[in-house]
Amino acid sequence: MDFEVTRDTRNELLARREVDFRLRFEGPTPSRMQVIGKLAAGLNVSEKLLVLDTMKTSFGKTELTGMARVYDTEEQKSKTERAYLSTRGMPKPKEEGA
């Protein structure tokens, strides 16, 4: 996977970085967890502080564009971010006895 940041701005009011990116890949479209891992490694931040907002692919291309937000602290993230965006794409916990 080839990762490129197209826009990186700082939002001081909400204590976060807003990042637009382009990701080129081979084979099937990567999962949200794979994209979060690649973004966290590329931006040198913890996965817990990163929220992946959108991922869009174009038909016939092996690249996707997206937007993500990187917060300064987990507290700031929980105050600002909607809960479903933080948990979207995460593996579901396995239920006992199932």
User: Which CATH number fits the domain that encloses residue 37?
Assistant: 3.30.70.330
pTM of the entire structure?
0.83
pLDDT digits (tens, 9 = 90+) for 75-92: 999 998 888 887 876 767
- Give the residue from 78, 81, 92 showing the smallest Cα distance to 33: 92
6/21 Cα distance (integer angstroms): 5
Q: What pLDDT sits at residue 88?
A: 79
pLDDT digits (tens, 9 = 90+) for 1-39: 888 999 999 999 999 999 999 999 999 999 999 999 999
Q: What pLDDT sits at residue 60?
A: 87
Residue 40 in domain: yes
Q: How many separate domains does the chain show? A: 1
Q: Which domain holds residue 12?
A: 2-87
Residue 17 in domain: yes
Q: What pLDDT sits at residue 44?
A: 93
